[in-house]
Amino acid sequence: MILRHDLTSRILFEDGEALVIDKPGGLPITRPRAGGESLEDHLDSLRLGFQRQPAPVHRLDTDTSGCLLLARNPKALKRFSQAFEDRQVEKNYLGLVAGAVEEEEGTIELALSKISSAEGGWRMIPARKGKPSVTHWQRLSVVGGKTLVRFRPVTGRTHQVRVHAAEGLGFPLVGDPVYGSEDPRAPRTMLHAAGLVLQRTGKPPIAVASPLPGDFAAFGVTLYDD
């Protein structure tokens, strides 16, 4: 297989127990049923001299670009995974939503549940008996009737930011085929994992930022428009 990406050139952080890569939008974490390139194809090159392949600690949707944490040994994987489960990781996403958001900032709290059908596949929906989810958000800029929003999810539910944009802000992410905003200019769902911070005992924190990808520029937005 000819690989389209060189992930060794996209390393944002590296030490003896962790790697953070700037995952390209469109690259799945696990191999799709239909085949094709995935993160799994790059894990051997990301050993960088270590005996073991690194393992992803958390998931990003295939379309989502940005900071992805990998652990370089099983003990680190266990500790980092527990930190995510205990909500001790600060996560920062940038998303372009398909509408002009009037408010400057707020917090979205929605219980989410998974539904599926033979026709439409699966998706997450707000549901009274679902799992609680919380996201803080801040409007950064409005350009061409679309809004660049910073999302800081507290919980880590599947598709949380995507559903919170559509149901909480009232506007789905641009390019999101599941929650309602396909756009011919969007090569993907316009969501970017812009940063994460994970505190460690006895070691400096893992604190990483990823720049706004170039495909956001097609919509005239930059991170410093606010």
Query: Domain of 204: which CATH number?
Result: 3.30.2350.10
Catalytic residue among 61, 63, 176, 215: 61
The answer to whether position 30 is within a domain reads: yes
- Candidates 212, 215, 214, 210; CA nearest to 22 is 210
CB neighbour list of residue 224: distance below 8 Å, 6 or more residues apart: none
The answer to whether position 31 is within a domain reads: yes
Q: Which of 101-105, 183-187, 209-213 has the lowest average pLDDT?
A: 183-187
The answer to whether position 85 is within a domain reads: yes
Q: Which of 48-57, 99-108, 126-135, 181-190 has the lowest average pLDDT?
A: 181-190
Look-up of token digits 């005992």: 201
The answer to whether position 15 is within a domain reads: yes
In terms of residue numbers, what domain contains 42? Answer: 7-213
How many domains is the chain built from? 1
- Candidates 214, 221, 64; CA nearest to 145 is 221
- Average pLDDT, integer, range 104-116: 94
- Average pLDDT, integer, range 82-92: 96
**DSSP three-state, residue 169:** helix
The answer to whether position 48 is within a domain reads: yes
The answer to whether position 226 is within a domain reads: no
Confidence of residue 224 (pLDDT cuts 50, 70, 90): low
C-alpha span between 169 and 216 (Å, rounded): 20
C-alpha span between 114 and 130 (Å, rounded): 8
44 is catalytic: no
What would the two tokens of residue 65 be?
């670009």
The answer to whether position 221 is within a domain reads: no
Residue 41: the pLDDT is: 94
Residue 226: the pLDDT is: 39
